[in-house]
Chain A
Amino acid sequence: MPASPALEVRGLVKRYDGRAVVDHLDLVARPGAVTAVLGPNGAGKTTTVECCEGLRAPDAGTVRVLGLDPVADARRLRPRVGVMLQDGGLPTGVRALEMLRHVASMYARPRDVAELSARLGLDSFARTTVRRLSGGQRQRLALAAAVVGRPEVVFLDEPSAGMDPQSRRAVWDLVRELRADGVAIVLTTHLMDEAQDLADLVHVVDHGRVIASGTVADLLADGGDAADAPATVLVEATPGLETEPLAKALAALPHAAAQPGGAAKPGSPVPDAGDAPPADTSPWSVVAGADGTYTVTGPVDPRAVEAVAAWLADQGVLARSVTTGRGTGRTLEDVFLDLTGRHLR
């Protein structure tokens, strides 16, 4: 049975100077799950989480965190919610660990500061003033401050900004641990890999609205027009292979599109290249990438994979990978760009 939502936003509207930055936005986050709010800069992500944190009052709509109103019930809610702001919110003149201890002192039973500090690698700069910390160090300290009070809901606004890969690992590990402990984690990000690796549920936000929601798998499967995307075989091998023989071999295959189910007759041999129909009527395309990837698009069936394998064998090349699928190689980034457009903003 699904747990009741840790966060429920319905019809949220927030205007600045009459302009709606958040425009009838709905989203849900559950305990024990990482919910990513993914969107380009200026999409309204930060404003949305600030409304959830009680830092801004909505102009319309409702926000419920753990069933409470973040503004009206702030006193009851604040001890149960952890926040990491996009700009850190750390005073610059104090030492790193002093700041963490200070935030910990606001809670009755905070996490052990020493343990948390070791966990996130804060010890190496414990006595450095915040002013002199690197971006990644500040982010780790801000995350520590967000979780030191043992929150049930954590809001992380762009947690990986400015982090080196090691910091990012440490942060992601902690986020996964919080999730395993039943904490609801809401993170905003424009980093696709962050959403793809961490999130159980992704809400894609643009122009102040949620334009797609689902698991990463859902979005990859049917986000945008992926359902209509042609089937492909993706080959990772070495650059510079001759693709003409493959194109001819594929063109000579029995026309799979004419046979529902796409199955060629078992045992039918791959016809000679000489019997191939003219290339312009072939349903196949073979595109070579500069990095040694080859994308074969068409009515993919087992015979097609066999033809690809035969082609590789003829060239004496062992591929690193051969993958089949619909829209193979499609990442969350592709879905995201399909949904939000490719123009710069």
Chain B
Amino acid sequence: MTTTQPGTVHPAEPPASGEDRAAPAWRRIAAQASFETRAILRNGEQLLVTIVLPVLVLVGLVRTSFLDLDTQGWSRVDFVTPGVLALAVMSTAFTSQAIATAFDRRNGVLRLLATTPLGRGGLLAGKVLGVLAVEVVQVVVIAGVALALGWRPALAGLPAVVGVTLLGTAAFTALALLLAGTLRAEGVLAVANLLLVLLLVGGGVLLPAGELAAPLAHLAVLLPSGALGEAMRGALLEGTVPAFSVVVLLGWTAALGWGASKLFRWH
């Protein structure tokens, strides 16, 4: 075999090592986070599920009485808002992220970005930060509407809300990646929306698990949705987070995270 050698020139800027040719890690991750956030906030369907749906649920439950709520002595808005915040976390960390990742996976976006200096780790970090950024927007909008409706949260519980949000985000992002990395994009679209509706109705998110029918009541507290809802209500109503809910969320995060890391397929 013969080969031609059309020159042995080297690129104009020969690198000592590869890594200094990449932008610093924090800048790559920040760029990815901002890219993800903009993609979600610009997408009509994503906005519908992450912002419009929780706000509609909040206003609907507070301002109408078609659902006869046992508010256990709290005002309707105080009783409902923590659950709506939990719903908001689920819609962004789970439904929206699962769908976005599934289509990015199908379109080869994940693989392409994994070949840039961002890498797989940076991509994941960027996604998680993007989810958190969208959640900040959600909290501002939902809390704004709730305050306008007369919401009086337990101020002592606010720091705990941050922790609960992070934990819920971790559990539901892991579930999102597990689905997005194993099913076809169209399947993820269907399953992610269906699961959100099922958990919304029977998962103990909006209303305490105890208000559900008997078998569901026991099941819902063990679901990540029920645990997140209970933790939010504990923090914002009483100012304390029930330890049981934290343990349940930690368990789900560990299990789903393990599953996603084992089963996620990039191709």
Q: A residues touching B (Cβ–Cβ < 8 Å)?
A: 1-3, 28, 30-33, 53-56, 68, 74-81, 83, 85-94, 102-103, 105-109, 142, 145, 149-150, 152, 179-183, 200-201, 213-215, 218
Contacts and interface: CB of A to CB of B under 8 A. Distances in A.
Contacts of A105: 23, 27-28, 31
Contacts of A53: 115
B247 to A, nearest CB: 36
A275 B17 CA distance: 78
Contacts of B9: 31-32, 180-182
Contacts of A103: 116
Contacts of A90: 107-109, 112
Select the residue from A80, A83, A88 with max chain B CB neighbours within 10 A.
A80
A246 B217 CA distance: 97
A83 B21 contact: no
A61 to B, nearest CB: 19
Interface in B127-183: none
B45 to A, nearest CB: 10
A179 B6 contact: yes
A71 to B, nearest CB: 11
B198 interface: no
Interface in B230-260: none
Given A89-B107, A91-B104, A150-B11, A32 B6 contact: yes
Given A79-B22, A152-B11, A106 B3 contact: no
A185 B258 CA distance: 39
Contacts of A80: 15, 18, 21
Contact of B2 (A68, A74, A85, A218): A218
Contacts of A142: 112
Interface stretch (B35-43, B51-59, B88-96): B35-43
B20 interface: yes
Given A32-B8, A106-B31, A183-B11, A76 B19 contact: yes
A286 to B, nearest CB: 35
A109 B42 contact: no
A183 B9 CA distance: 8
Nearest to A70: B115
Contacts, number: 153
A91 B18 CA distance: 26
A103 to B, nearest CB: 6
A31 B111 contact: no
A33 B6 contact: yes
B21 A109 contact: yes
Contact of B107 (A88, A107, A145, A183): A88
A108 B6 contact: no
17 contacts: A1-B8, A2-B8, A3-B8, A31-B9, A32-B5, A55-B115, A78-B116, A80-B15, A89-B113, A91-B107, A105-B23, A105-B28, A106-B28, A106-B31, A108-B21, A109-B13, A213-B1
A108 B20 contact: yes
B3 A201 contact: yes
Contacts of B111: 55, 85, 89
A344 B103 CA distance: 32
Contacts of A28: 3
A46 to B, nearest CB: 10
Nearest to B114: A55
A5 B54 CA distance: 57
A150 to B, nearest CB: 7
B17 A76 contact: yes
Given A3-B8, A215-B4, A89 B21 contact: no
Given A33-B5, A83-B112, A94-B39, A181 B18 contact: no
A145 B42 CA distance: 22
A288 to B, nearest CB: 37
B3 A89 contact: no
Nearest to A54: B115
Nearest to B116: A106
Closest 7 A-B residue pairs measured CB to CB?
Answer: A89-B112, A182-B9, A89-B108, A3-B8, A79-B21, A76-B18, A79-B22
A31 B10 contact: yes
B227 interface: no
Given A77-B18, A93-B42, A182-B7, A106 B23 contact: yes
Nearest to A80: B18
Contacts of A30: 3, 5
Contacts of B22: 78-79, 106-108
Given A83-B115, A93-B39, A150 B21 contact: yes
B62 interface: no
A44 to B, nearest CB: 15
A31 B119 CA distance: 24
Contacts of B109: 89-91
Contacts of B43: 93
B23 A107 contact: yes
